[in-house]
Amino acid sequence: MKELHISSNQRNQMIDITTNIQHVIKEEKINDGIVIVYIPHTTAGITINEGADPSVQQDIIETLQKLIPAHTNYKHMEGNSDAHIKASLLGSSVTVLVTKGTLILGTWQRIFFYEGDGPRNRTVYVYTSKNK
């Protein structure tokens, strides 16, 4: 298992980590298998979506902000309840197939780390498994 370190510079941000994950696959010499990308943070998420047009990432962020506003009548007193809810919706892991040393993603798909309570320094765990 490998650790990646991600630094966000905004409160809400989507960071493309696809290339980082692909580097781990090459380092681990995974020809065919799977990769699990997991984040151990309650105010961040992980998702796969379109990476060709950055406006898609902005649309996701803005829609999450509209659906789950930063300030409302939340009971949690730390001021980041919205980030907890957004992270729950996005999830904390993705699993991607690997073949011929490459992530199996659609033409436009990329793996994104979603920051909901930044700026922060975060850890991403990448687990790989080879087919036998």
Could you read off the pLDDT of 10-47 as tens digits, one per residue?
Answer: 999 999 999 999 999 999 999 999 999 999 999 999 99
Only one residue has tokens 């994950």, namely: 21
Only one residue has tokens 């692909």, namely: 22
Residue 18, domain extent = 2-130
The contacts of residue 118 (CB under 8 Å, 6+ apart) are 8, 9, 10, 11, 12, 13
Q: Specify the CATH number for the domain of residue 27.
A: 2.60.120.460
Structure confidence by residue, pLDDT tens digits, 95-104: 999 999 999 9
Count structural domains, the chain.
1
Structure tokens at 66: 């509209």
Check residue 72 and give its pLDDT: 86
Structure confidence by residue, pLDDT tens digits, 46-96: 999 999 999 999 999 999 999 999 988 898 988 899 999 999 999 999 999
Phi, psi of 68 (to 5 degrees): -130, 85
pLDDT at 111 over 80: yes
Check residue 37 and give its pLDDT: 98
In 3D space, the residue among 43, 30, 46, 26 whose CA is nearest the CA of residue 124 turns out to be 46
